[in-house]
Amino acid sequence: MLGLLMQGFLLTIEIFAVTLIGALPLGILVALGRMSRFKPLQWLMRIYISIMRGTPLMLQLMAIMFGPYYLFGIQLGTDWKYYACGIGFIINYAAYFAEIYRSGIQSIPRGQYEAANVLGYSHSQTFMRIVLPQVIKRIVPAMGNEIITLVKDTSLAFVLGLLEMFNEAKILAASEVSMIPYLLAGVIYWVICFVIEILLTHLEKKLDYYHD
């Protein structure tokens, strides 16, 4: 029983990691688009964020999974469910991350941009060297919240038939007529979150060498 749960655990971790690797940088781009002075881009990002936050992630996953076939008649292989899962999680979480980045970026005083400007930094140097490091420190608590939510949201991948931990637990519970697999899965989710909490606390401490 533990063997199957561990297989599911690995897929759960994989979904979690892929989502972070994709959505953390994508969120920055979405936030920059959302704050762009180019109105069409700004509105496109607003609409995108609104849809991502305003509809269930489960529905989004299903739309990406089945949309290509029902809308365009495109036949995709059996591996598509893994891609659909990755894409769905990344674009959903990027929208949430974008709003957190935006709140952080807008909290950086204008004087920081002006100092960098006068010193001759380019726009991208100003953002990467001066603004973003300060933004990261400010948004760690809010990001931590989303990241912990993501651990548990990975269970939604079961709607695509992916054998992540929750799906494995469900199958085991049915075959063994027992609640134990659910209980074990619950404990494992909590342990993952607990480890992440420790890592986040460590990161916050590490960034606490200055205040402003």
Partner 1 sequence: MTDNAAVVTLKNARKSFGENVVLKDISLQVNQGDVLAIIGPSGGGKSTLLRCLTLLETLDAGNLSYGDLVVCSTDASGRAIYGGKDVLKQAKTRFGLVFQNFNLFPHYTVMKNIIDAPIVVQKRNPAEAEEEARQLLAKMGLAGKENMVPCELSGGQQQRVAIARALALHPQVLYFDEPTSALDPELTQEVLKVIRELAAEKMTMVIVTHEMGFARDVADHLIFMDGGMVVESGRAADVINHPQHERTRSFLSKYEEN
Residues that bind partner 1 (CB under 8 A): 109, 111-112, 114-121, 125, 129-130, 133-134, 137, 209-212
| Between 87 and 130, CB nearer to partner 1 | 130
Supply the minimum distance, in Å, between the C-beta of residue 115 and partner 1.
4
Select 197 or 208, whichever has its Cβ closest to partner 1: 208
Task: Using the minimum distance from each CB to partner 1, give the nearer residue, 11 or 131.
Answer: 131
Angle (nearest 5°) at CA 67 between 64 and 71: 155
At closest approach, how far in Å is the CB of 119 from partner 1? 4
C-beta of 133 vs 141, nearer to partner 1 = 133
- Residue with Cβ nearer partner 1 (54 or 111): 111
Q: What is the smallest separation between the CB atom of 83 and partner 1, expressed in angstroms?
A: 38
